């Protein structure tokens, strides 16, 4: 988990072909819409500005950008924007955005003052994850919920899943070291 991704929306750079393109700062509402869209280009290049989007499609049609690169780019973008592996934010967002769930999830978020047009995708993920944990009756339900959100899908290679796990472990290790140095509280 990259805690910084939850602080505020940020621009996200993605590599396509030999170029680096930027998804401008977008609030959670834009990301949610793109994740829920069935168009495979809704995130990359869909969340880019119009000129950049046109350039990406032009390079794709010329064969300078592949479908595999587009898939890798949207996955990278989701992970960078949320601070968690792409499959976790995609799975949780699609579950929350399902027609049977959205009214309840969005209603609970609104009642708590969560503005999807102001927060980052990472903050949205954290809020919905918290709602999910909060609704569990016991430890068994919590474990089942966590497993259903965090388990990589079959198309994720073992190497990719391990890289994500190692990054999360590195962060937790650094946080533990910081807490030891500061005596468990904030520095100051």
Q: Which whole-number Å values give the CA distances from 188 to 70, 110, 184, in the listed order? A: 44, 34, 12
- Residue listed under structure tokens 């350039």: 55
Q: What is the model's pLDDT at position 64?
A: 96
pLDDT tens-digit profile, the chain (188 residues): 788 888 999 999 999 999 999 999 999 999 999 999 988 899 999 999 999 999 999 999 999 999 999 999 999 999 999 999 999 999 999 999 999 999 999 999 999 999 999 999 999 999 999 999 999 999 999 999 999 999 888 887 777 777 766 555 554 555 455 556 656 555 44
Q: What is the model's pLDDT at position 121?
A: 97
Residues ≥6 apart with Cβ < 8 Å to 70:
16, 40, 41, 44, 45, 60
Domain ranges (residues) in the chain: 3-170
Its sign, for the CA torsion 25, 30, 36, 38, is: negative
Q: How far apart are CA 114 and CA 164, in angstroms?
A: 28
Q: What is the model's pLDDT at position 93?
A: 96
**Secondary structure in 3-state letters for the chain:** CCHHHHCCCCCEEEEECCEEEEECCCCHHHHHHHHHCCCCCCCCCCCCCHHHHHHHHHHHHCCCCCHHHHHHHHHHHHHHHHCCCHHHHHHHHHHHCCCCCHHHHHHHHHHCCCCCCCCCHHHHHHHHHHHHHHCCCCHHHHHHHHHHHHCCCCCCCHHHHHHHHHHHHHHHHHHHHHHHHHCCCCCC
Q: What is the model's pLDDT at position 177?
A: 55
Peptide bond connecting 45 to the previous residue in cis, omega within 30 degrees of 0: yes
pTM exceeds cut of 0.85: no
């Amino acid at each position: 988990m990259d805690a910084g991704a939850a602080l505020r929306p940020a621009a996200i750079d993605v590599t396509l072909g030999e170029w680096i393109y930027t998804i401008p700062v977008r609030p959670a509402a834009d990301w949610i819409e793109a994740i829920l869209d069935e168009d495979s280009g809704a995130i990359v290049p869909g969340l880019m500005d119009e000129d950049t989007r046109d350039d990406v499609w032009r390079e794709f049609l010329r064969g300078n950008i592949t479908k595999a690169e587009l898939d890798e780019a949207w996955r990278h973008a989701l992970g960078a924007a949320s601070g968690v592996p792409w499959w976790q934010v995609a799975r949780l967002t699609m579950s929350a955005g399902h027609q049977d769930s959205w009214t309840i999830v969005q209603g609970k978020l609104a009642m708590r003052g969560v503005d999807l047009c102001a927060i980052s995708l990472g903050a949205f993920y954290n809020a919905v994850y918290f709602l999910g944990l909060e609704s569990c009756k016991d430890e068994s339900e919590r474990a089942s919920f966590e497993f259903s959100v965090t388990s990589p899908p079959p198309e994720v290679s073992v190497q990719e899943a391990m890289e994500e796990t190692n990054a999360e472990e590195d962060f937790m290790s650094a946080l533990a070291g910081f807490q030891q140095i500061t005596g468990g509280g904030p520095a100051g």
